[in-house]
């Protein structure tokens, strides 16, 4: 086995979010001098605000109506964004490349039929059924559509990507909320580094406008229903998160493979490190310190752009902020951007979104203006050479990643 | 010396040092093995919930031992803990709550079950409101933190990570009915690339409830032979009519051979190779020519550096659906050629039923027990073999047979195909 480790390049990006569709649309909102306008819907999941997904025309990526009908909106979004990434990388419609494309999808599940749920709940709650069990069985048997199960199954996002786009090497689906996205990219990076595949399609999707998911987060009172604003504004509150919508996929590739086919990178993934704890007071911060120790020698001193996935749930918000401010002890001057302020917590898609935004900043040679006016986020001038990503789960998991600039001409520069 | 530390491609050899298993046949390797070679079935009439109105009323359930209403993730966690404890104790690795390696958990996608959903709905805070509006009002006022901790997609793996203390993030994965095999693949790959010296690969699935039975029924996947529960799972039989859902968990402790030798662990077998190829044909069916499955099997042999003649026994996916068993035979014939003649193949699912996300791990565990015992568990309920499936399926009665290598197949909805090859201890 070769001990020479390959560099991992980002050679394709597919992004749809509440801000828009495509890298250009996102750059228009986020480029220095521009102020992004977060899209927020306060009615759909009231009393909880969400960032709704923009409209996207599925027929451009999922042309067959028979395929469209087999999926719900969540699978549409993922399959769509995956198609954008494959197109962007120049992999689409190339059978040789598709047959060696490995896939790791970070997934939750697809939409339930909320009308059927609601009708059953109302009937069962009345309590006048002689035999509620039989009523439930009969109603599920007659009302659930056979295709609904497939639209709900987590691994069928990957399955649909294989069917619609023809990706046919390995196919794995990771679950576990924000950390599924982290593990997906961490694993792909490890596999590329060690020659266990040269070409990967990695990403995920989440749609916030779903009452069954809103229920799940509010089981833990994890949602924010207060005033809109910067995530850092929740420092002195009990905290909470605003969910966001995004489909985010990347094509990751070994440098050698990309160069051999003439593909240019947006950026390079330098490192991904992750851990967990039971979140007793201070534990998450300790895990993050340990993770930082593993990559600290790769981070130069001075101003460092940092994309934080901090979602606003307490006490993690204050712990993460304290951890990030503590970078100054290593003579690193973190310049933070709280990504959830503009996009919400896009859950399984969140870490892929952050890697995409880091890649965008590096390829454009400019970092985003502050998203807030609370003083936490400072100006950054100059060309970012590295972007640090800090991505903690709302419930479990802590991670750090470093995206940097490979020593070759980059894509996406004007 | 270096030959047994590295494989034919120069990668670290991956060995198995711990096995744990829980199924409807029993708890632990010993009880399961006794039942398997005796040809016993773990399938029975479902008693967990009323089955009136359901086309399928049988399954291989394991009794729920928690308090109160059935809580699927708690059941899956409880089974996984049992199998993992057995495997870790056998391996003698790490210390309590500290597993010195990565963790890969094959698990079904969580969804809030009807009991818990109605518990939320029936609270009074929602007033006269209905549907999810009422649900959101009730959750906002109530305290459902236990549901929050248990019904996330990563919940089961997280609880297991808290219990067993692996390194790094636990990976929670699903590739439908290939999930268990995928968890082993991921462990093998992590050890081969030097990320870790050991991996805890767990498959667990204990989610049999009304809605899951209905969902699989609507895909026409389940046997409806309710009058004869123990005879309903009949892989490779002419009258097979679907699979029988079941619950269970298994765990393998994987290690690099070097690390296992260094600490003097007993080696139970070697993971020689893994193969995979995603299918593009259909959401629930394989390409009619079987090419994706054939490629999966061929790639596993290439990865193992083995020829078809070197496979002593095949632990089939063998679900007992008309489609699977036909396609599995077609693909094996193409991939193994003449070597398939005289190679015994049997389906553990004839006795255990289909444990879905856990099946690949359970069948890997049984493959290794088969190597150890030199006895092949039978395919039971095979009284009239499908005349179009020309394989030696070890019908009804166990068989003594020297088994140095086993191929184990797993196929899942969504075009998921995985093939694993195990062998006895390296020389």
For residue range B96-153, what is the model confidence (pLDDT) as tens digits? 999 999 999 999 998 999 999 999 999 999 999 999 999 999 999 999 999 999 999 9
Look at residue B35 and give its three-state secondary structure. helix
- Other C-beta atoms closer than 10 Å to the C-beta of A405 total 20
**Which residue of chain B is at minimal alpha-carbon distance from A115?**
B131
Structural domain including B131 reads 116-148
Q: Specify whether B323 is located in the same domain as B392.
A: yes
Mind telling me how many Å the CA of B363 is from chain A's nearest CA?
Answer: 20
Q: Cβ contact (<8 Å) for A156 and B413? A: yes
CA distance B83 to B62: 14
Chain A residues lying within 8 Å of B193, measured CB to CB: 190-191, 193-194, 196
Q: Cβ contact (<8 Å) for B153 and A107? A: yes
pLDDT tier for residue B1 given thresholds of 50, 70 and 90: very low
Q: Specify whether B279 is located in the same domain as B358.
A: yes
- Other C-beta atoms closer than 10 Å to the C-beta of A319 total 22
Q: Cβ contact (<8 Å) for B171 and A218? A: no
Chain A residues lying within 8 Å of B153, measured CB to CB: 107-109, 154, 175-177, 180
Q: Cβ contact (<8 Å) for B211 and A159? A: no
Domain boundary among B148, B172, B196: B148
CA distance A256 to A7: 8
Q: 302-331 in A: which are within 8 Å (CB) of B?
A: none
Among B318, B314, B418, CA closest to B376: B314
- The C-alpha angle A103, B322, B290, rounded to 5 degrees, equals 40
Query: Would the CA dihedral through A324, A325, A326, A329 be positive or negative?
Result: positive
Chain B residues lying within 8 Å of A162, measured CB to CB: 278-280, 414-415
Among A308, A267, A222, CA closest to B143: A222
pLDDT tens track, chain A, 414 positions: 445 689 999 999 999 999 999 999 999 999 999 989 999 999 999 999 999 999 999 999 999 999 999 999 999 999 999 999 999 999 999 999 999 999 999 999 999 999 999 999 999 999 988 999 999 999 999 999 999 999 999 999 999 999 999 999 999 999 999 999 999 999 999 999 999 999 999 999 999 999 999 999 999 999 999 999 999 999 999 999 999 999 999 999 999 999 999 999 999 999 999 999 999 999 999 999 999 999 999 999 999 999 999 999 999 999 999 999 999 999 999 999 999 999 999 999 999 999 999 999 999 999 999 999 899 999 999 999 999 999 999 999 999 999 999 999 999 775
Q: Specify whether B65 is located in the same domain as B204.
A: yes
Q: Cβ contact (<8 Å) for B210 and A133? A: yes
Q: Cβ contact (<8 Å) for B121 and A159? A: no
Residue B109 has its nearest CB partner, among A109, A168, A222, at A109
Region for residue B186 given its phi and psi (left: phi exceeds 0; alpha: psi -120 to 50; beta: otherwise): alpha
Mind telling me how many Å the CA of B9 is from chain A's nearest CA?
Answer: 7
Chain A residues lying within 8 Å of B52, measured CB to CB: 131, 133-134, 137
Looking at the complex, does the CB of residue A220 fall below 8 Å from at least one CB of chain B? yes
Mind telling me how many Å the CA of A109 is from chain B's nearest CA?
Answer: 7
> Which is catalytic among the residues B75, B159, B257, B354?
B354
Q: Specify whether B126 is located in the same domain as B275.
A: no
| Chains A–B, number of C-beta pairs less than 8 Å apart | 254
Mind telling me how many Å the CA of A31 is from chain B's nearest CA?
Answer: 34
Q: Cβ contact (<8 Å) for B154 and A176? A: yes
For B145-174, write each residue's pLDDT tens digit.
999 999 999 999 999 999 999 999 999 999
Q: Specify whether B329 is located in the same domain as B237.
A: yes
CA distance B239 to B40: 20
Torsion, CA A371, CA A374, CA A377, CA A381, rounded to 10: 80
Q: Specify whether B139 is located in the same domain as B186.
A: no
Paired with B135 in beta bridges are none
Looking at the complex, does the CB of residue B122 fall below 8 Å from at least one CB of chain A? yes
Q: Cβ contact (<8 Å) for A162 and B111? A: no
Looking at the complex, does the CB of residue A129 fall below 8 Å from at least one CB of chain B? no
Question: What pLDDT score does A286 carry?
Answer: 98
Q: 31-60 in A: which are within 8 Å (CB) of B?
A: 45-48
**Which residue of chain A is at minimal alpha-carbon distance from B216?**
A149
Section B258-273 average pLDDT = 97
DSSP secondary structure string, A200-269? Answer: EEEEEEE-S--HHHHHHHHHTT-B--S--S-GGGGGGS-B-B-B--EEEEEEEEEHHHHHHTTPPPSEEE
Residue A134 has its nearest CB partner, among B52, B140, B170, at B52
Q: 43-72 in B: which are within 8 Å (CB) of A?
A: 49-55
State yes or no: pLDDT of B344 exceeds 80. Answer: yes
Domain boundary among B95, B124, B148: B148
Q: 376-395 in A: which are within 8 Å (CB) of B?
A: 395
Q: Specify whether B78 is located in the same domain as B129.
A: no
Among B303, B321, B323, B325, CA closest to B407: B303
Which of A162, A206, A393 is most worth mutating to test chain B (most B CB atoms within 10 A of its CB)? Answer: A162
Question: What pLDDT score does B236 carry?
Answer: 98
What is the number of structural domains in chain B? 2
Looking at the complex, does the CB of residue A109 fall below 8 Å from at least one CB of chain B? yes
Q: Cβ contact (<8 Å) for B50 and A131? A: yes
Q: Cβ contact (<8 Å) for A177 and B145? A: no
**Which residue of chain B is at minimal alpha-carbon distance from A216?**
B148
Distances (CA, A) of A117 to A120, A211, B52, B71: 5, 11, 20, 18
Mind telling me how many Å the CA of A360 is from chain B's nearest CA?
Answer: 27
Q: Judge whether B354 counts as a catalytic residue.
A: yes
Which of A42, A149, A189 is most worth mutating to test chain B (most B CB atoms within 10 A of its CB)? Answer: A149
Q: Specify whether B144 is located in the same domain as B61.
A: no
Q: Specify whether B186 is located in the same domain as B240.
A: yes
Mind telling me how many Å the CA of B345 is from chain A's nearest CA?
Answer: 25
Residue B136 has its nearest CB partner, among A168, A215, A221, at A215
Q: Specify whether B238 is located in the same domain as B359.
A: yes
Q: Specify whether B138 is located in the same domain as B271.
A: no
CA distance B105 to B158: 9
Q: Judge whether B383 counts as a catalytic residue.
A: no
Beta strands of B241-321 (E only): which ranges? 248-256, 269-276, 313-315
Residue A1 has its nearest CB partner, among B10, B111, B415, at B10
Q: Cβ contact (<8 Å) for B153 and A176? A: yes
> Which is catalytic among the residues B75, B159, B177, B382?
B177
Q: Judge whether B317 counts as a catalytic residue.
A: yes
**Which residue of chain A is at minimal alpha-carbon distance from B154?**
A176
| Percent of all residues in chain B with a pLDDT value above 70, rounded to a whole number | 99
Give the CATH number of the domain where residue B181 resides: 3.40.47.10
Burial class (CB in 10 A: 0-12, 13-18, 19+), A256: middle
Q: Specify whether B137 is located in the same domain as B218.
A: no
Looking at the complex, does the CB of residue A154 fall below 8 Å from at least one CB of chain B? yes
Q: Cβ contact (<8 Å) for B280 and A174? A: no
Question: What pLDDT score does A4 carry?
Answer: 66
State yes or no: pLDDT of B425 exceeds 80. Answer: no
Question: What pLDDT score does A339 carry?
Answer: 98
ipTM score over 0.85, yes or no: yes
Beta strands of B194-247 (E only): which ranges? 198-205
Looking at the complex, does the CB of residue B150 fall below 8 Å from at least one CB of chain A? no
Domain boundary among B148, B170, B198: B148
């Amino acid at each position: 086995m070769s001990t020479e480790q390959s560099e991992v390049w980002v050679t394709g990006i597919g992004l749809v979010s509440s801000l828009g569709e495509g890298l250009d649309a996102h750059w228009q909102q986020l480029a220095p001098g521009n102020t992004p306008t977060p899209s927020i819907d306060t009615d759909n999941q009231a009393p909880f605000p969400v960032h709704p997904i923009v409209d996207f025309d599925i027929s451009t990526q999922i042309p067959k109506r028979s395929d469209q009908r087999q999926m719900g909106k969540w699978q549409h979004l993922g399959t769509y964004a995956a198609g954008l990434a494959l197109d962007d990388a120049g992999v689409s419609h190339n059978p040789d490349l598709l047959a060696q494309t490995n896939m790791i999808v970070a997934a939750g599940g697809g939409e339930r039929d909320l009308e059927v749920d609601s009708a059953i709940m109302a009937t069962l709650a009345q309590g006048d059924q002689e035999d509620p069990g039989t009523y439930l069985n009969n109603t599920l048997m007659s009302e659930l559509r056979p295709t609904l199960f497939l639209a709900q199954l987590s691994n069928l996002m990957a399955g649909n990507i294989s069917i619609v786009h023809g990706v046919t090497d390995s196919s794995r689906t990771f679950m576990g909320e924000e950390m599924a996205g982290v593990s997906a990219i961490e694993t792909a990076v490890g596999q590329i580094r060690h020659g266990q595949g040269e070409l990967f399609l990695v990403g995920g999707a989440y749609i916030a406008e779903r009452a069954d998911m809103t229920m799940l987060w509010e089981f833990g009172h994890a949602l924010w229903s207060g005033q809109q604003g910067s995530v850092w504004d929740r420092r002195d509150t009990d905290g909470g998160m605003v969910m966001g919508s995004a489909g985010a996929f990347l094509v990751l590739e070994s440098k050698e493979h990309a160069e051999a086919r003439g593909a240019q990178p947006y950026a390079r993934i330098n490192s991904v490190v992750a851990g967990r704890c039971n979140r007793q007071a201070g534990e998450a911060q300790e895990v993050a310190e340990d993770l930082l120790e593993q990559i600290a020698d790769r981070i130069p001193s001075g101003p460092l752009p940092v994309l934080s996935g901090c979602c606003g749930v307490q006490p993690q918000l204050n712990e993460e902020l304290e951890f990030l401010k503590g970078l100054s002890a290593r003579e690193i001057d973190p310049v933070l951007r709280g990504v959830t302020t503009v996009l919400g917590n896009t859950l399984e898609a969140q870490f892929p979104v952050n890697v995409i935004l880091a890649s965008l900043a590096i390829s454009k040679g400019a970092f985003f203006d502050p998203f807030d006016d609370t003083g936490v986020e400072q100006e950054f001038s100059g060309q970012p050479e590295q972007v640090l990503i800090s991505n903690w789960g709302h419930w479990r998991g802590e991670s750090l990643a470093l995206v940097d600039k490979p020593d070759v001409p980059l894509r996406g520069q004007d | 010396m270096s030959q047994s530390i590295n494989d034919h491609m120069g990668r670290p050899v991956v060995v198995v040092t711990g096995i744990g298993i829980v199924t409807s046949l029993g708890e632990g390797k010993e009880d399961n093995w006794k039942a398997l070679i005796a040809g016993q079935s773990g399938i029975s009439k479902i008693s967990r919930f009323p089955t009136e109105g359901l086309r399928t009323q049988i399954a291989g359930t394991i009794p729920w031992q928690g308090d109160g209403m059935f809580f699927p993730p708690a059941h899956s966690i409880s089974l996984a803990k049992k199998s993992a404890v057995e495997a870790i104790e056998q391996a003698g690795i790490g210390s309590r709550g500290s597993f010195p390696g990565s963790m890969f958990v094959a698990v079904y996608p969580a969804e809030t079950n009807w009991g818990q959903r109605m518990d939320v709905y029936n609270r009074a805070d929602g007033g006269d409101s209905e549907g999810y509006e009422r649900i959101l009002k009730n959750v906002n006022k109530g305290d459902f933190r236990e549901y929050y901790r248990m019904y996330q997609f990563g919940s089961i793996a997280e609880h297991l990570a808290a219990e067993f203390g692996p390194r790094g993030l636990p990976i929670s994965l699903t590739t439908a009915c290939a999930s268990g095999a995928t968890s082993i693949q991921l462990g093998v790959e992590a050890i081969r690339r030097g990320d870790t010296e050991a991996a805890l690969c767990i498959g667990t699935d204990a989610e049999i409830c009304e809605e899951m039975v209905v969902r699989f029924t609507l895909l026409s996947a389940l046997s409806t032979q309710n009058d004869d529960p123990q005879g309903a799972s009949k892989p490779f039989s002419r009258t097979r009519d679907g699979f029988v859902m079941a619950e269970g968990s298994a765990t393998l402790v994987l290690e690099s051979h070097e690390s296992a030798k260094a600490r003097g662990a007993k080696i139970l077998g070697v993971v020689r190779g893994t193969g995979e190829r995603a299918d593009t044909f259909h959401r629930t069916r394989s390409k009619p020519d079987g090419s994706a499955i054939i490629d999966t099997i061929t790639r596993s042999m290439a990865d193992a550096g083995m020829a078809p003649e070197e496979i002593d026994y095949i632990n089939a996916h063998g679900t007992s659906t008309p489609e699977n068993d036909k396609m599995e035979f077609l693909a094996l014939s193409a991939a193994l050629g003449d070597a398939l003649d005289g190679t015994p193949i049997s389906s553990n699912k004839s006795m255990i039923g289909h444990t879905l996300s856990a099946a690949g791990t359970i069948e890997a565990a049984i493959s290794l027990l088969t190597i150890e015992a030199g006895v092949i568990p039978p395919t039971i309920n095979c009284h009239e073999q499908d005349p179009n499936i020309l394989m030696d399926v070890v019908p009804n009665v166990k068989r003594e047979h020297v088994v140095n290598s086993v191929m184990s197949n797993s196929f899942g909805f969504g075009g998921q195909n995985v093939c694993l090859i195990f062998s006895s201890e390296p020389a």
